[in-house]
Amino acid sequence: MKNKMMSLLQATDLIKDNMLLAIGGNAMHRTPSLFTLALTRKPVKNLKLCGAAPGLATDILLASQQADTSYFGFSGLENEAGLSPGMRKGMEGEGKIRAIEGS
């Protein structure tokens, strides 16, 4: 079987502009936050993100403005941390990120 193990930074090389990324986990739990944090060090842009209940990992890419679209059923950090700050920054008022809500 092909060995797919690689470093976090090598993995971020797989991501190109305009890609649609499915990001796992829900809210503050089980999200690949270190991966999206590593992605903020790359000049990648116009990403499309999707998840059932995206949280921290997704919000990092919304805050860094590297994503231009987010597909979600619920996007937030649950009661303890509240609404997602990156989502609010990117979607409220003149924010440029598109919210595609399917609920």
Partner 1 sequence: MEYGKPEMMAAAIIRQIEDGDIVFHGLASSTPMVAMKAAKAMGKEFTYLTLSDGVDHDWTRAPYVASTLTENTYTGSVATFGLDEIFDLYCSGKGDIAFLSCLQMDKEGRIAMSYLGGDYERPKLRGPGGAGSATLPPVTKKTTIWKTTHDKKTFIEHVDFATTSPPLDKEMTVITPLCIFKKPVGEKYLKVAYIFPFTTLEEVKENTGWEIDQMEVPVMNPPTEEELTALKKVDPNNILHFEFK
Residues that bind partner 1 (CB under 8 A): 26-30, 52-53, 72-76, 78-80, 83-84, 87-88, 91-95, 99, 101, 103
Q: How far is the CB of 88 from partner 1 (least distance, A)?
A: 5
Pick 47 or 55: Cβ nearer partner 1: 55
Q: How far is the CB of 8 from partner 1 (least distance, A)?
A: 24
Pick 9 or 100: Cβ nearer partner 1: 100
Pick 38 or 57: Cβ nearer partner 1: 57
Task: Kindly list the strands in the beta sheet with 67-72, ordered across the sheet, starting from the edge strand earlier in the chain.
Answer: 20-22, 47-50, 67-72, 98-101
DSSP string, 16-78: -TT-EEE--SBTTBS--HHHHHHHTTS----EEEE-SS--HHHHHHHHTT-EEEEEES--S-H
